[in-house]
Amino acid sequence: MTETRLSPAPGAAPPVRRTSALGTAGNLLRSEWTKLRSVRSTVWTLLITVVIMIGAAALAASATSGGDGNGMPTADRVLLGASFAQLAIVALGVLTISAEYRTGMIRTTFTAAPRRAGVLAAKAAVFAGTVLVTGLVAAFGAFFIGQAILGGKGLELSLGQPEAVRAVVGAALYLTVTGLIGLGLGTLIRHTAGAITTAVALLFILPPLVAALPGEWGQTFSRYFLSNAGSRVMVTRVNEDLLGPWAGFGVYCLWCAVIAAAGLVLLRRRDV
């Protein structure tokens, strides 16, 4: 192997074609897609998400004997798996970047692409696209399984019911933004365990505690707090005490943007 030669020699090398800014964005997206698809944890986590969503829908539909209020079961009854699946998705979001810190791959990544904001944007875009597609498959899968089981009992569940399509698509959107919050926390905290613990606290532990805050301002704060706001988009019933579906989802996106922005500031400033 000592006869190894490199070709072409620098003198003979053809003029190097420099990539445009747009080309760079495309290159980073391709690179991040290769990274995401080439580790097993991605495939497993996405598979678990689909299984949880569909399994929970089947269980919920089987346990249903009557409808809500007006006698008809609603879409959100078969979407309850999303609140469990979000744990898998948020962990995947964290790992998308924290695994690079754990293994040291982040140094290789930033050596290859020193514009760190671009790397994070490409990671977020590829991850969001993947989770959105998986979320849609899982949510519609859950809906149709639920529909079939309920239909066998003579109960009707259809996409034609008010707000049904919005709730099903909303579940996929909610999972996507939840995953991005994981990515933001992973960027901010860099350690897998620390970031996942923080995510669990923010999404599972604090929302019910915040809801118990006393007084008017406590209720207001609770309405706007992370998943309390974000989960409205996958609920069909309108609750006057809480935010509307899209307002709630908008607030959830803002939370995500703030976490991501904080992560980005530190990402650009830190030594790696």
Measured N-to-C along each axis, helices 82-103 and 116-152 cross at an angle, to the nearest 10 degrees, of 150
x-marked contacts with other proteins along 102-131 as a string, rule CB under 8 A: -xxxxxxxxxxxxx----------------
Q: How far is the CB of 111 from other proteins (least distance, A)?
A: 5
248, 177 Cβ separation under 8 angstroms:
no
Distance in angstroms (rounded) separating the CA atoms of residues 178 and 199: 9
Q: Give the number of residues in contact with other proteins, rule: CB under 8 A.
A: 45
Give the Cα separation of 98 and 76 in Å (integer): 33
**CA distances (Å), origin 84, targets 89, 148, 240:** 9, 22, 25
Q: How far is the CB of 127 from other proteins (least distance, A)?
A: 14
Q: Which residue of 216, 240, 241, 271 would you call a contact of other proteins, by CB under 8 A? A: 271
Residue nearer to other proteins on the CB measure, 35 or 232: 35
Nearer to other proteins, 5 or 214 (CB): 5
Within 8 A by CB and 6+ apart from 60, the residues are: 77, 78, 80, 146
Which of these ranges, 26-34, 67-75, 203-211, 220-228, lies near other proteins under the rule CB under 8 A?
A: 26-34
Query: Is residue 70 at the binding interface for other proteins, with CB under 8 A as the rule?
Result: no
Residues 6+ apart with CB under 8 A from 62: 149
Asked if 66 touches other proteins (CB under 8 A), the answer is no
